[in-house]
Amino acid sequence: MGGIKKKDVKKYSKSIYKKGTEVGKKAVKTKLTIVAVILLIVTIGIISFVGIVSFSLFFPIDPVLVQPASPDYDGNIELHWNKVQTGGGIDADVYLIHREYNDEYGGILYYYKTVSTNMYIDTNLPTGTFRYNIIAKISTDWGGSFLSDRSNTITVVVSTAVPPPVKPDKPILGDISPLISYTGIIDLSWNTISTATYYRVYRIKDGGYNQHIATVSTGTTYRETLTLNGIYEYSISAWNFVGGSKSSDRKSVEVLVEFINTPILESIIPNPSTDGYITLKWSYVEGATNYLIYADIDGAGYNKVKIGAISPWATYRTQDGVHSFYIEAEGLSYIAESNVQSVIVAIPVPEPPDETTLSTISPTIDTDGTVELSWTSVLDAISYKLYRNRDSGNYVVVDSTITTTSYTDYDLS
């Protein structure tokens, strides 16, 4: 590790001071003038001052290692220390990590690692005792370098024993968004703690007492809907069979809910509906800016079928079954749901018309390519469909919109 060290500069400064003092004593003994003695003392002071200034401007401060947890059970030791600078604000270029290792046989291994950041993870370590200290290094423009003194020494024992169970770490609760809730819906989320089996949710309203409001055993989210306006603060703690962690930092949200009355949906008449036409009527809600209609058939689930509805609202349903409806009245910041009303839709299936009878075609042998057809009338028939085949082939539709009981087929050849 080449470079100028602090202790060398200190030693050199002491040497100058000692020699200067000896010279001063000799000067007095040889009866030098008082002026010469004073000049000598001033010179020594200047040299010492320059040394001190140089020491603070160019030499890095001493690094301080943070003690990791010991014993370590995974063979990975994470080292952290302060970011080192000189008194002049120059950052250290690199850090020299010194490691001593006592193995099971009592031997000591030395190891140096050079890193450019103020952290390092020593991985895949065997069992034994490890000691670490570091030196900060600052390079100069002329190719030299300045070195700090060694940091404090920390000791970590790496063990293969099963680590004892511990309480979970403190979770981190995310910011609540939006900071002002006009709906009263509050969504919380936090980071996963690997050793936690469940989480507890706490809430404070308007500076009151801290209340445990929920236990979450699946996932790391929680939602609740509040109906009282105020300032709410939330925190989370992680738990396992050993105990609970410290509570997370609190996050706050303001609830400003505008309340509106609940709409009342009237009974649906007629019930059952035999034509599929359904009319919904509901009460007017003061402050409502919009009405939404939700519909369900035979319990399959509600779907939004209309936005911006106005009472009364009519719909046509072709599917038989139990049709259920409810209304949502929307305010600027609040939604109120109506009661549910149901109606049975049962549209009768019309009976098929009676058969018609086609009159005998005459003459049976046609010579002009025109055939006159007629048939009997059928009660309630709307139209008739005429089919024709040729030489015992397949029947094809000649006309499907005949509204009379006769038809002339032309150009047959």
Q: Which residue has the tokens 């009263």?
A: 184
Superfamily of domain 180-255 in the CATH hierarchy: Immunoglobulins (2.60.40.10)
Superfamily of domain 77-158 in the CATH hierarchy: Immunoglobulins (2.60.40.10)
Separation between Cα atoms, residue 392 and residue 388, nearest integer Å: 10
Q: State pLDDT tens for residues 41-51.
A: 655 555 554 44
- Burial class for 253, CB neighbours closer than 10 Å (0-12, 13-18, 19+): buried
User: Residue 23: its pLDDT value, please?
Assistant: 47
Could you please state the CATH topology (level 3) that the domain comprising 277-345 is classified under: Immunoglobulin-like (2.60.40)
User: Residue 237: its pLDDT value, please?
Assistant: 98
Separation between Cα atoms, residue 410 and residue 394, nearest integer Å: 19
DSSP 24-81: HHHHHHTT--HHHHHHHHHHHHHHHHHHHHHHHHHSBPPP-BPPPPSSBSSS-EEEEB
Could you please state the CATH topology (level 3) that the domain comprising 351-413 is classified under: Immunoglobulin-like (2.60.40)
Positions of the chain with pLDDT under 50: 16-17, 23, 27-28, 49-53, 55
User: Residue 366: its pLDDT value, please?
Assistant: 78
**Three-state DSSP state, 383:** coil
Separation between Cα atoms, residue 234 and residue 404, nearest integer Å: 80
